[in-house]
């Protein structure tokens, strides 16, 4: 999407060349922010908020603490 006239944004969001916004959301991220350990889920969410492109390894590291 981004490579053909679109633009990237924060937290995995991007806009295609027609102006439609999309969020790329890996399953790992969804599982992390719904983690039963609320502190781990918060760490993962905070880590994601600082990202442009979602970094799965960084999300997994945030879960571990």
Which tens digits make up the pLDDT trace of 45-65? 999 998 888 899 999 999 999
pTM over 0.85: no
Give the C-alpha separation, 42 to 36, whole Å.
11
Give yes or no for residue 1 having a pLDDT over 80. Answer: no
Give 18-30 pLDDT, tens digit per residue: 989 988 889 999 9
Give yes or no for residue 2 having a pLDDT over 80. Answer: no
Locate 14 and state its tokens: 């991007």
Give the C-alpha separation, 21 to 15, whole Å.
4
Domain range annotation of the chain: 24-65
Question: What number of CA atoms fall less than 13 Å from residue 29's CA on the CB side?
Answer: 17
């Amino acid at each position: 999407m981004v490579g053909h006239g679109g633009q990237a944004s924060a937290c995995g969001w991007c806009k295609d060349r027609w102006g439609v916004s999309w969020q790329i959301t890996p399953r790992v991220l969804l599982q992390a922010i719904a983690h039963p350990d609320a502190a781990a889920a918060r760490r993962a969410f905070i880590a994601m908020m600082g990202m442009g492109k979602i970094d799965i390894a960084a999300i997994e590291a945030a879960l571990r603490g």
